[in-house]
Amino acid sequence: MKIEALRNAIGREHGVLALVLLAALVIVARAWLVQVEQSPFLLKQAQVRHVRTMTLPAARGVIYDRNGQVLALSTPVADVWVDPSQACGNLGALRPLAKLLHQDVRSLERRVGARCKGHFMYLKRQVLPDVADRVSRLKLPGVYVTPTWRRYYPQAEVDAHLIGFTNIDDVGQAGLEKVYDGWLRGTPGRIRVIKDLKGHVVDFHDTVHPVKPGRDMTLALDQRIQYFTYRALKRAMIMHQARAAAAVVLDAHTGEILAMASQPGYNPNDRSQIRPSATRNHAVSDLIEPGSTIKPLVMARALQEGKVALDERIDTSPGRLRVDDRIVRDDHDKGVLTPEGIIQHSSNVGIARIALRMKPRDIWSLFHELGFDRDSGLYLHGEAMGRLRTADVWTPVEQAWAAFGYGFQINLLQLARAYLVLANDGAMLPLSLFRLDQPPQPERQVLDPVAVRQVRMMMEKVTEKGGTAPKAHIVGYSVAGKTGTVHKVGGDSYSLSRYRALFAGIVPADNPDMVMVVMVDEPSRGIYYGGEVAAPIFREVMTQALRLRNVPPDRAE
């Protein structure tokens, strides 16, 4: 019996051992299957459920002025969003979030509750980092914070029309931000992260694609001169109750744009101010008839072609000249004038008499060479191309009108470039938005150097006592300039009550350092002449700019 019992016990032990060994083999086989055979499949399934690819936004490039001052940069912010399918289970939990985001609790609950089947809805975009951090600490189900960037403009309104702005997705919408969006915009990065069942990031897996920030940009703009230009235009807008105003300042040696300002303005940091009427860059978007500012250019071509002599006396009496069936008028009888007197006193009759000695194509080719029938080549946002009819359709009266700036249209930047030719003894320089390390080579010789220097001397008389713009005179410096007072077109004819006041100048006249052109649109307080409205803006800005650029005085007064 004992032996039989022992055999039975050993048999049971062997059976249990066999079962244990069998179970162990099953476990090992299952482990082999899971860990080895099915490992790639299971790993992929785990990644599908817990590994997510996140996009990391890239900062746009920084925009600097020529001296390294920041004009535009990207600052870190965050977007707060919700997965309604997760949050709808407990809408009451959103109350502390509504307080943080300064939103109405009931409104927030209604918005989320109305989209319970959805998986994405913004709650607030571009919140400050400290707010985003407090939202994250709430650990609300279905509420997420995504880092992003917001564009900030330290100079606000001062540079707004040239620099432009971006939208809420950081895409350029106007100005250089739009034109050079591809340059400034960075390449977003991608990173794989591990999330828990509630969707929170618990670990970083690896980097799929690194973030590549946008490229920086250094402009030719001098922020100091830009500020004085902006301030002077704003003061003039208020003083004369004008519709708009604009100005351009160029480096006479390089063609660099040192300042470009426009009014009315707007603050690009405040999206509520961004509307078409405020964002229009009047320096390049407005087509204007340049008026009498064109006279020095026509005079230079006439001297070059031998159509007039420096000492010639031209009778402008009685202040009227019949051309075809039209009358060219001066504001009063200016009598007998030399070419210098025609420029100094801005005689329409005098310059028309000289222009009619020339062939229409002579004047047209001058305007064509100055670039009046094409854009600046800078691809500025909103730039309007000049309008210039071909010479073969000009009538004699149109030829006379063209000599004092009527019958064709250009923008203010084109006028500035034409005066850059006068500042460079007749040579045409390319314009530049970006800081140059050395002066560029001239594109072509438009006017004879001797004729240009003679005309610049005539233009000095404009800013002296007896000229049309003594208010452009700067103590200690020679100033070559020309006024323009243009009737605006109203319907099918010129308006008798709406004007544009213009002034274009070069300083110092003997050795030019800067060119500045100014336009004030529809001054409405009874004063509208270029010498009274636009010339003082030139003097105010150039007085400061000459000091900032350390240009030595060239006149003893």
Read off the pLDDT band of 203 (50, 70, 90).
very low
366 pLDDT above the threshold of 90: yes
Mean pLDDT value across residues 315-332: 92
Least confident of 21-25, 128-132, 372-376, 520-524: 21-25
425-460 tens-digit pLDDT: 999 999 999 999 999 999 999 999 999 999 999 999
CA distance 503 to 481: 7
Nearest CA-CA partner of 234 in 543, 514, 540, 503? 540
52 pLDDT above the threshold of 60: no
Q: Which stretch of DSSP H or E encloses residue 444?
A: strand 444-445
Mean pLDDT value across residues 402-407: 94
pLDDT of 150: 92
pLDDT of 202: 46
Mean pLDDT value across residues 263-282: 90
323 pLDDT above the threshold of 70: yes
Amino acid sitting at position 106: R
Selected residue with higher pLDDT from 39 and 161: 161
CA distance 136 to 130: 10
Nearest CA-CA partner of 135 in 108, 169, 170, 116? 108
Angle at which helices 348-355 and 396-403 cross, to 10°:
130
pLDDT of 189: 64
Read off the pLDDT band of 494 (50, 70, 90).
confident
Mean pLDDT value across residues 251-273: 94
Selected residue with higher pLDDT from 331 and 1: 331
86-111 tens-digit pLDDT: 888 788 888 888 888 888 888 888 88
Burial 23-53 (b: 16+ CB within 10 A, else e): eeeeeeeeeeeeeeeeeeeeeeeeeeeebee
Mean of pLDDT over the chain: 89
Mean pLDDT value across residues 398-424: 96
21 pLDDT above the threshold of 60: yes
Give me the percent of the chain exceeding a pLDDT of 70.
90
DSSP string covering 151-195: EE-TTGGGGHHHH-EE-TTS-EEEHHHHHTHHHH--B-EEEEEEE
Using DSSP, state whether 339 is helix, strand or coil. helix
The number of CA neighbours under 13 Å toward the Cβ of 18 is 6
Mean pLDDT value across residues 49-55: 56
pLDDT of 493: 78
Q: If DSSP states are collapsed to H, E and C, what string results for 40-83?
A: HHHHHHHHHHHEEEEEECCCCCCEECCCCCEEEEEEEEEEEEEC
Least confident of 21-25, 262-266, 323-327, 523-527: 21-25
2 pLDDT above the threshold of 70: no
In the chain, what are the domains? 53-86+94-218 (3.90.1310.10), 223-548 (3.40.710.10)
10 pLDDT above the threshold of 80: no
Mean pLDDT value across residues 121-125: 89
CA distance 336 to 355: 17
Amino acid sitting at position 505: G
122 pLDDT above the threshold of 80: yes
Read off the pLDDT band of 370 (50, 70, 90).
very high
| Rg of the chain over all Cα atoms, to the nearest angstrom | 36
46 pLDDT above the threshold of 90: no
Cβ-based neighbours of 313, under 8 Å, separated by 6 or more: 336, 337, 338
Read off the pLDDT band of 209 (50, 70, 90).
low
CA distance 199 to 36: 29
Q: Which residues are catalytic?
A: 292
213-249 tens-digit pLDDT: 889 999 999 999 999 999 999 999 999 999 999 999 9
Least confident of 190-199, 225-234, 474-483: 190-199
Burial 321-331 (b: 16+ CB within 10 A, else e): bebeeeebebe
β-bridge mates for residue 75, sequence order: 150
Amino acid sitting at position 99: K
56 pLDDT above the threshold of 50: yes
Burial 281-298 (b: 16+ CB within 10 A, else e): bbbbbbebbbbbbbbbbb
DSSP 497: E
DSSP 409: B
Amino acid sitting at position 116: C
Q: What is the pTM of this model?
A: 0.86
37 pLDDT above the threshold of 70: no
pLDDT of 27: 79
CA distance 281 to 422: 25
Nearest CA-CA partner of 140 in 203, 84, 78? 84
Nearest CA-CA partner of 334 in 326, 342, 323, 324? 342
